[in-house]
A and B are shown apart, each in its own frame.
Chain A
């Protein structure tokens, strides 16, 4: 069969499954529930922040008298950090807009000199200009009242980007992507195959010009379509966070390929829906758990953390976080992306082997 014929068959199967999945209660409920989870999870901090006070993270290099006054304020929450890096990390990791501030070593002398104070402030890159301006104005006013002098906070050049190993907000955003890709890939794709086996429409497909390979690729395209659509919705909720869209898109495509390949493997080896549910959840644990374990560097030995970094989802989480960072050098995401793609290729090879064996 020529390439056009192959494409025609694959697209016939894929388009049928893309349309059919909307009408299938199992797949539809999977997609909707996982999206609800992500959106709810994304909006929760915003709802919570309505009840919380503005937050100020300071690094007081010289042990100034202002820090003690700030602590007593009931207008905002104060977080003191032990270093400039920790302060910046705190600002970058939070899922609400936090003002970071460095009090210079000679702050008390500057205050005594009577000159207008200009302090270095820090804000996250994903905050809107209006939100940053609002927080800055709030703290400028309070600091002016406390010091009795006009205080200006300069944030030019002090925009905080998340890092490759960021925890907090960037980490949670990366987990949202992975959760969506894993659940849709592992539960929806095998269900598409199991449905064909259960209804014995697979027999009709296999006596048609479609080969087992066409069926697997067609199902994979349907799975990829839903993974990409769901990931696009997730990206929509994190628009401001993503700096390198091309890398986020690449991570979504490679991640989808990986989870869809695993889904195909389940679908081609298992026969009953209950088995799929069981195995999908059993696989989700070793795929998702390491993503959380790997950030708890204080709790686990370095060897274990290093080993966990070889789990494809851990690597994928890192790639997503690079896409949120200020710069995305190849060295920061190349090896991780290669690991995800190799794992997908391995899973696809396993699928090809199983499909070839079960062709008769």
Chain B
């Protein structure tokens, strides 16, 4: 079964087309990079694929569920790390996870497991308002993994993080893919997309302008020894 499938997915905001008829498919266990500048339509695409936003046109299926008609069935199949650190700051990291566990009907023992998985056991009982950005991001990943989703959406997961923390987060993501979790990753960072992704889609002004493996995208670029960024500039005519 295809993990994610989008067909002519479109979303308008007040007459402005944010996502313009994009189509793609992601295989199970694949890390799919979704690259594009600010305002290109990355977050809108994630919001449609996770059932938060109804597409204006087109259809999408995630883990075999129609994102519009089977939204409730879709919810346990997906985990989302948002582009903001939306956690309960007055609760501890552990209490944040216990709350999510109750929502999903997940056993409490699973909380300890994901805390270990993201390396937050020692600070689990601290209020999250005392957490660094990196710790908050780890907690967000733990929350998204708590119910063992089949597809994980990561919206700019390393934005604003120290290089060391960003590297740790990438290691966690790579590990998840090895366990068979499908990862849909939006990022600004070319190197991140290049190193992590099995395939990359480049979106610009709401349209997918290229979709392939990073190696192939670089190879298709006119320049010898081109980087993914060169490929991106070549395709969109602008840098990120």
Contact = CB atoms under 8 A, between A and B. Distances in A.
B104 A16 contact: no
Interface in B64-91: 72, 75-76, 78, 80, 82, 84, 86-91
Interface residues of B, number: 25
B52 A207 contact: yes
B88 A20 contact: yes
A358 to B, nearest CB: 12
Contact of A207 (B51, B102, B105): B51
B54 A360 contact: yes
Contacts of A199: 86-89
A201 B50 contact: no
Interface stretch (A114-122, A167-175, A182-190, A208-216): A208-216
B100 interface: yes
B86 A200 contact: yes
Interface string B187-211: 0000000000000000000000000
B72 A16 contact: no
B102 A12 contact: yes
Interface residues of A, number: 24
A24 interface: yes
A8 interface: yes
B131 interface: no
A34 B87 CA distance: 30
Nearest to B102: A12
A156 interface: no
Interface in B107-157: 143
Interface secondary structure of A, over-half rule:
helix
A314 B102 CA distance: 41
Interface in A185-232: 199-201, 203-211
Given A12-B99, A203-B82, A360-B53, A208 B104 contact: yes
A23 B53 CA distance: 32
Contacts of A23: 90
A9 B106 CA distance: 12
B72 A5 contact: no
B155 to A, nearest CB: 10
Interface string B36-78: 0000000000000011111000000000000000001001101
Contact of B103 (A12, A20, A200, A360): A12
Nearest to B90: A23
Nearest to A360: B54
Contact of A20 (B80, B87, B90, B105): B90
A127 B222 CA distance: 96
A112 to B, nearest CB: 78
A201 B84 CA distance: 10
Given A16-B99, A203-B82, A5 B105 contact: yes
Contacts of A201: 86-88
A209 B75 contact: yes
A13 B102 CA distance: 9
A130 interface: no
Contacts of B91: 16, 20
A201 B86 CA distance: 5
Contacts of B87: 199, 201
Contacts of B104: 208-209
Contacts of A307: none
A208 B75 contact: yes
A1 interface: yes
A174 to B, nearest CB: 35
Given A200-B82, A360-B52, A207 B75 contact: yes
Nearest to B83: A200
A47 to B, nearest CB: 38
B84 A211 contact: no
A203 to B, nearest CB: 6
Given A9-B103, A201-B86, A204-B100, 12 more contacts: A5-B105, A8-B102, A9-B102, A11-B102, A16-B91, A24-B90, A199-B87, A200-B82, A201-B88, A207-B78, A208-B75, A208-B100
17 contacts: A5-B105, A8-B102, A11-B102, A12-B99, A12-B103, A20-B88, A200-B82, A201-B88, A204-B82, A204-B100, A204-B143, A207-B75, A207-B78, A208-B100, A208-B103, A209-B75, A360-B54
